[in-house]
Amino acid sequence: MKNPFIAALPPAKDDDKQLMLKYTKGLADYDFENVKKMTVHEKIMAVNEMRTKFRICLSFQKQLEDAFHSSLVNSYRLRKLYRDTKAKIPANIVNQDVILHQKMYGDAADSANSSFALLGYSGVGKSTSLKQLLMDYPQVILHKVPGSEDVIPQIVYLVVNCLPNSNFNEMYISIGKAVDRALGNIQPYYEEVILKTKGLSSKMNKVIELIETFNIGIILLDEIQLIDFKHTKENSFEGLMTIVNATKISIAVIGTEDAYSKMFINLRNARRVGTLIDASTYTENDSYFKNIVSFMMNYQWFDTWVDCDEDMVNALKKCSYGIIDQLISLYVMMHIYYFEKKGKKPKVNGDYVRMVSRKYFPYMKQLNNLLKDPMSDNCLKKASEETKNHLKELLKKSEEQNKESEAKQIELSDMMLNIAKIKEPIIKDIENVGFDRIEIEKCFNKLIKKGLDDMSNREIKQTIISELTKPKLRARGKNKPLKKKCFKQSLNNKLALCYGCIFVILK
pLDDT tens for the chain, 507 residues long, are 578 899 999 887 777 777 888 888 888 888 899 998 999 889 989 998 998 889 988 889 989 999 999 999 999 999 999 999 999 999 999 999 999 999 999 877 777 677 888 988 888 999 999 999 999 899 999 999 888 888 999 999 999 998 887 888 899 999 999 999 999 999 999 999 999 999 888 999 999 999 999 999 999 999 888 887 666 665 566 777 888 888 999 999 898 876 666 665 555 555 566 788 889 888 888 988 998 999 999 999 999 999 999 999 999 999 998 999 999 999 999 999 999 888 899 999 999 999 999 888 876 555 444 444 444 444 334 433 444 454 555 556 666 767 777 776 666 666 666 777 778 788 888 888 888 888 888 888 778 777 776 788 888 888 888 888 887 654 444 444 333 333 333 334 344 555 444 443 332
Cα separations (Å) of 423 from 171, 416, 448? 41, 10, 10
Bridge partners of 106?
79
Residue-level pLDDT at 382? 42
d(CA 489, CA 473): 22
The closest of 168, 154, 262, 164 to 207, measured between CA atoms, is 168
Mode of pairing for the β-strands spanning 89-93 and 79-83: unpaired
DSSP conformation class of 222: E
d(CA 93, CA 239): 27
d(CA 374, CA 255): 14
Contact between 111 and 40 (Cβ < 8 Å): no
Angle of the 437-450 helix axis to the 457-468 helix axis, nearest 10:
120
d(CA 211, CA 243): 9
d(CA 290, CA 9): 36
CB atoms within 10 A of CB 474: 5
CB atoms within 10 A of CB 274: 23
Position 312, amino acid = M
Q: What does the buried/exposed string (b/e) look like for 438-460 if buried means 16 or more CB atoms within 10 Å of the residue's CB?
A: eebbebbeebbeeebeeeeeeeb
d(CA 168, CA 208): 14
Position 506, amino acid = L
Cα separations (Å) of 65 from 77, 177, 260, 275, 363? 18, 26, 22, 12, 34
Bridge partners of 92?
97
Residue-level pLDDT at 461? 86
Domain 60-282 CATH class label: alpha beta
Angle at 53 between CA 122 and CA 367, to 5 degrees: 20
Q: What is the DSSP string of 87-120?
A: --EEEEETTEEEEE-EEEEE-TTSPPPPEEEEE-
d(CA 432, CA 426): 10
The closest of 213, 175, 219 to 197, measured between CA atoms, is 175
Enumerate the domain spans of the chain: 60-282
Residue-level pLDDT at 477? 43
Residue-level pLDDT at 261? 60
d(CA 256, CA 67): 18
Residue-level pLDDT at 83? 92
Sign of CA pseudo-dihedral 434, 438, 442, 444: positive
SS3 99: strand
Residue-level pLDDT at 411? 66
d(CA 254, CA 127): 8
Mode of pairing for the β-strands spanning 96-100 and 89-93: antiparallel
Contact between 184 and 95 (Cβ < 8 Å): yes
Contact between 205 and 143 (Cβ < 8 Å): no
Contact between 181 and 88 (Cβ < 8 Å): no
Residue-level pLDDT at 148? 85
Residue 402: CB partners within 8 Å, gap ≥ 6? 59, 60, 63, 278, 281, 282
Contact between 363 and 122 (Cβ < 8 Å): no
